[in-house]
Structure 1
């Protein structure tokens, strides 16, 4: 019980520290967390609205791109933040009560809360502009968050080790994952892609996360390519793989940071 209380106190203190570091003491830091997705969604709406008459799903370009972008951010924002957690908290790891997993836990909680709050505000604003607000399927939305969080945590745990041990890995990872934003279904529906491109795209579990997320907003969306067992297996394997690498490397992380 004492260990659990100590862990809870450490994580709570680190969340406060991370909030101060990430957002600063001025409200402008929090405002930017909201303006960034709004800017991306607005830009995509203007560009694709000029090219096509209707979005790939529904009648609102803004809602379509918001579900894609914010569905993607449930994963990507966590991964980017978690990957540098251990390295960024190097001075604190010299204290015996502070463990590398505390830095990961604090950042995961903070980023989840931030992404959720931003999504609620953005979607609430979008719904006000629509003639009829969609009927949300909350179990689907929570399921998408669960799978996205598992994938992000697994990759983030793995990256937090690799970023510390191998400087070149961070550069390679950035190059290899840069096209992910364009290929996971933010701008389009993977179901509409012809064979064999559709099968290649659907091998990426993030496509399934975004498809699942969109089913929470569009009851008419059949999501033919959505494979929940495949997504569950990928999420579990990535999570346990990342956790295994991180656990094995705990002492190394303390020494090398």
Structure 2
């Protein structure tokens, strides 16, 4: 119990430290957290409004692209932030009470909370601009956000070990994952694609995350092709593999 209490206190202190380091004492840091997704959503909306009369789902372009982009951000923003968790706090690992896993958990909590607040603000603003009120199914939204964060956490646990150990792998990982935005169903519906493109896109677990997230905003959306078993199978496989690599690499994580 004492060991658990100590780690909870360490993680809480790291969350406060990470918040101060990331956002600073000036409001500009917090404002950028909202401007980044808002600008992407606005850009996509303007582009597609110029070439199409209606979005692929519903009647609002901003809502359609927000449901895709925010769902994707629950993975992408989390993965990008967690991948450097240990390296960014390496100086603190000289203290015996600070474990490498604490740095990852602190960033996980902070990023999940940050993305959730940003999502709430973005969808509130979009909802106020609509003629009809949003019909929201919270279980789908929460589940999608949680699944996306698990995918990111599993990747990050492994990457915190593999990036410093194999610099070439880090470059390879960045190149391979760069097209994820295009193949995750952010600005289209995977289940409306022709075969075999649909099957190829659905191999990406993030496409299932986006489909599930959209079910929370569009009651009429059937999300044909969504496979919860596949999504969680990938998520827990990554989490198990990441934990295995992370827990067996104490010397690498502490820079010994």
How big is the shift at 1:180? Answer: 0.5
Separation (CA, whole Å) in 1 of partners of 2:170 and 2:34: 27
Aligned to 1:108: 108
Aligned to 2:202: 202
How big is the shift at 1:139? Answer: 1.0
How big is the shift at 1:232? Answer: 1.5
Q: Cα deviation per residue 1:23-49 (whole Å; 9 max; x = unaligned)?
A: 111011000000000000000000011
Is it true that 1:71 corresponds to 2:64 in the alignment? no
Separation (CA, whole Å) in 2 of partners of 1:217 and 1:77: 21
User: TM-score scaled by structure 2?
Assistant: 0.98
Aligned to 2:136: 136
Count of residues in correspondence between the two structures? 256
Aligned to 1:32: 32
Separation (CA, whole Å) in 1 of partners of 2:190 and 2:124: 26
Separation (CA, whole Å) in 2 of partners of 1:55 and 1:255: 50
Across the aligned residues of Structure 1 and Structure 2, the Cα RMSD in angstroms comes to: 0.9
Separation (CA, whole Å) in 1 of partners of 2:245 and 2:81: 18
Aligned to 1:124: 124
Separation (CA, whole Å) in 2 of partners of 1:65 and 1:44: 7
Aligned to 1:160: 160
The SS at the match of 1:97 is: coil
The SS at the match of 2:255 is: helix
Query: Gaps spanning 5+ residues in structure 2: where?
Result: none
Separation (CA, whole Å) in 2 of partners of 1:242 and 1:133: 41
Q: Cα deviation per residue 1:145-203 (whole Å; 9 max; x = unaligned)?
A: 22111111101111111112112222111111111011110010001111111101001
How big is the shift at 1:250? Answer: 2.1
Separation (CA, whole Å) in 2 of partners of 1:9 and 1:244: 25
How big is the shift at 1:106? Answer: 0.2
Separation (CA, whole Å) in 2 of partners of 1:199 and 1:128: 36
Aligned to 1:248: 248
Q: Give the ranges of 4+ consecutive aligned residues of structure 1 lying more than 3 Å apart after TM superposition.
A: none
Separation (CA, whole Å) in 2 of partners of 1:156 and 1:46: 34
User: TM-score scaled by structure 1?
Assistant: 0.98
